Amino acid sequence: MRRPVAARDYPSGTFDAAPAPLEGVVLAALTDEGLDVDTSAPTRAKHGRDWWPVSLLEVGAGRVPVWPGVVVRAHSESQVEATLRVASRFAVPVTAQGGRSSVVGGAQPRPGGIALDLTGLNAIGPIDVVSGLVEVGAGVFGPDLDEALATHSLTLGHLPQSFEISTVGGWLACRGAGQYSNRYGTAADLVRGLRVTLANGTSLALGARAPRAAVGPDLTQVFLGSEGTLGVITSATLVARARPSYDERLAYGVASFASGLDVCRRILRRGASPAVLRLYDEIEAERLFGVSQGVLLVLDEGEPALVGATMSLVAHEAASLHPLDPALVAHWLEHRNDVSALADLWARGVVVDTIEVAAPWAALATLSGQVLDALRRREGTVVASVHQSHAYLDGACLYFTFAGLSEEPLAYYRAAWDAAMEIARVHGAISHHHGVGHNRARFARAALGDSFGVLEGLKTFLDPQGIMNPGVLALGGVPW
């Protein structure tokens, strides 16, 4: 089984000032349960960070962002149950972790708490080839699951940028979306059932009996997107489909980002949902493709007749655009998951991050313009750009990238996020697929409005001591 690659090694000497690990009755209770516990400084340091740029800044400076008191590696659901029973007994915070690929601090543990490593929950199967269903542990990494399904000519089609270093549990806990989600749906769309362990150590089975049910609310939705604050997802039943063997690709130049958005809208309105429909503004097009105008990339895959029909509709709606070499799609495919420069930029003092939001088509052009203007007016900003990455019948996801230089990098970073989130909250959703984590926690209450009280009520009922990933989703703890 794969393990996540390190984003960046800690500099030598980092561990000399490590705070004391979890000791006493709590550690004794975890050990008495027969759990795999590790209090060593290197392991605790490794589990004290994720891909949140604030973590990268700390790592680059030779510091561990957060020191958990202990790392518990769970290899079965019963071990997750035992860990949470102990944590509840002593009111110790627990952060469930998989590949720790969160870019908003969602997998960053609490100081002195338990970092619960779920990568040992890596069972795949059984696979129901007839129904297209697969049972999979929360700790399974994307490539391992894809290879197992490929032996049966199946695929989930879920390909997030973090595919190599993220796990199924993380996909579901954050309601993630893959780069082919126009065709295959988001992670939440693939779920037919869950197993979840609550804060008191009780495990629940939700769904998984039929493709759809009308027996009260769909309770799986309570835990999808809960980011480990309401319970720990230990396994899931997911629906797969036939693995495609055919694809077609198109690329176009666009006169403006707004006009490109309208082309994308019309394509979806016609009923076409190509797997990839990505629109880049002129800044990103120049940086990524060396093209001096905005770029629209289209890829679809599946049965040739269906692909042909989809791409015919695309070509009709894009007839007024300037055709470009479809090889641009291949270039994107080759480089789409490369984020190797991120940590080095932060280490060199460049503040850089991405912000993904979502809104209806009618608001997207305004949202795009206002966010870019707000970022560019921020003192220190070097560049701000945007692309459209996931499209729906009624709207789309906008993905902003910004970079800046400041003598106070965290102050600049917070101010940039504050400006973007206030605009996004007015026009749509403050997150499309990265989730809230710690970074967006201070915006969650305003974004959810009156419904935030319902979420707080669920938290109180399911986790009365507030031990589950406190601070994330603005549930417990002080927002960052």
**Mind listing the pLDDT tens digit of every residue in the chain (480 residues)?**
544 444 445 656 677 778 999 989 999 999 999 999 999 999 999 999 999 999 888 888 888 999 999 999 999 999 999 999 999 999 999 999 999 999 999 999 999 999 999 999 999 989 999 999 999 999 999 999 999 999 999 999 999 999 999 999 999 999 999 999 999 999 999 999 999 999 999 999 999 789 999 999 999 999 999 999 999 999 999 999 999 999 999 999 999 999 999 999 999 999 999 999 999 999 999 999 999 999 999 999 999 999 999 999 999 999 999 999 999 999 999 999 877 777 778 778 899 999 999 999 999 999 999 999 999 999 999 999 999 999 999 999 999 999 999 999 999 999 999 999 999 999 999 999 999 999 999 999 999 999 999 999 999 999 999 999 999 999 987 888
H-helix or E-strand spanning residue 116: strand 114-117
Same domain, 132 and 202: yes
Which of 217, 242, 267 lies at the terminal end of a domain, its last residue? 242
* Helix, strand, coil distribution of the chain in percent, nearest 5: 40, 25, 40
Which of 335, 350, 366 lies at the terminal end of a domain, its last residue? 335
Q: Which CATH number covers residue 56?
A: 3.30.43.10
Model pTM greater than 0.85? yes
Q: Return the pLDDT at 10.
A: 60
Same domain, 413 and 445: no
Q: Is 5 a domain residue?
A: no
Which of 309, 335, 361 lies at the terminal end of a domain, its last residue? 335
Q: Is 1 a domain residue?
A: no
Same domain, 310 and 416: no
Q: Which CATH number covers residue 144?
A: 3.30.465.10
Compute the half-sphere exposure of residue 439: CA atoms within 13 Å on the CB side of its CA.
31
Same domain, 20 and 103: yes
Q: Among 405, 403, 443, which Cα is nearest to 426's?
A: 443
Same domain, 167 and 82: no
Same domain, 135 and 233: yes
Q: Is 178 a domain residue?
A: yes
Number of domains the chain is built from: 5
Q: Return the pLDDT at 387.
A: 98
Q: Return the pLDDT at 4.
A: 44
Q: Is 62 a domain residue?
A: yes
Same domain, 258 and 285: yes
Q: Is 7 a domain residue?
A: no
Q: Is 9 a domain residue?
A: no
Q: Which CATH number covers residue 377?
A: 3.30.300.330
Same domain, 303 and 408: no
Q: Is 8 a domain residue?
A: no
Q: Which CATH number covers residue 319?
A: 3.30.70.3450
Q: Among 333, 118, 125, which Cα is nearest to 240's?
A: 125
Same domain, 142 and 116: no
User: In this structure, what DSSP letter does residue 6 have?
Assistant: P
Q: Is 469 left (phi over 0), alpha (psi -120 to 50) or beta?
A: left
> What are the two backbone dihedrals, phi and then psi, of residue 294, each rounded to the nearest 5 degrees?
-60, 155
Same domain, 137 and 238: yes
Measured CA to CA, the distance from residue 134 to residue 236 in angstroms comes to 8
Q: Is 97 a domain residue?
A: yes
Same domain, 302 and 349: no
Q: Among 330, 335, 424, 443, which Cα is nearest to 375's?
A: 424
Question: Could you list the residue range(s) of the whole structural domain that residue 350 is in?
Answer: 341-439
Same domain, 234 and 132: yes
Find the length of the chain. Answer: 480
Q: Return the pLDDT at 13.
A: 63
Q: Return the pLDDT at 56.
A: 85
CB 253 within 8 A of CB 154: no
CB 23 within 8 A of CB 54: no
